[in-house]
């Protein structure tokens, strides 16, 4: 049975919930899934999976450093990770409109969803008196 890792960083629980849901869906598709925090994921752990899904909240337009650290440290296994299926997701707070206007800030090789990007999920309209318009 193919093995999948869903590894996430979450401070207030939103990314954790999303990670758990993704793990559930992968399991329902017949994969054996490990759900772990990035803090509990060593770079060498990545070698043991056929599918690797990584998730993070958005912090100032990019991923949390805890996930970046894992990715940077995984560089020593780059050749060995070739051929695996990879996926990534990130959670947004209140600055979706601004980030869409500014364009994505993730480096092209980093995992990200299509939120706030052309063809991605719609960005909700500003709520008068509650949201600040993009500058």
Ligand X SMILES: Cc1cc2nc3c(=O)[nH]c(=O)nc-3n(C[C@H](O)[C@H](O)[C@H](O)COP(=O)(O)O)c2cc1C
Binding site for ligand X (CB under 6 A): 10-16, 57-61, 91-93, 95-96
Q: Are strands 85-91 and 51-59 parallel, antiparallel or unpaired?
A: parallel
CB of 19 to ligand X, least distance (A): 9
C-beta nearest to ligand X: residue: 93
Comparison of 81 and 123: residue with beta carbon closer to ligand X: 123
CB of 24 to ligand X, least distance (A): 17
CB of 11 to ligand X, least distance (A): 4
Comparison of 43 and 61: residue with beta carbon closer to ligand X: 61
Comparison of 60 and 130: residue with beta carbon closer to ligand X: 60
């Amino acid at each position: 049975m193919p093995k999948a890792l869903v590894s996430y960083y979450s401070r207030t629980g939103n990314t954790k919930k999303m990670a758990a849901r993704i793990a559930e869906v992968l399991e329902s598709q017949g994969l054996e899934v490990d759900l772990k925090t990035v803090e509990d994921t060593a770079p060498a752990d990545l070698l043991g999976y056929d599918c690797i899904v990584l998730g993070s909240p958005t912090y100032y337009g990019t991923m949390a450093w805890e996930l970046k650290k894992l990715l940077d440290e995984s560089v020593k296994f780059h050749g060995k990770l070739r051929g695996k299926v990879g996926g990534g997701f990130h959670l947004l707070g209140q600055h979706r409109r601004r980030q869409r206007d500014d364009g994505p800030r993730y480096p092209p090789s980093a995992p990200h969803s299509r939120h706030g990007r052309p063809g991605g999920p719609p960005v909700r309209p500003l709520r008068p008196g509650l949201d600040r318009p993009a500058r």
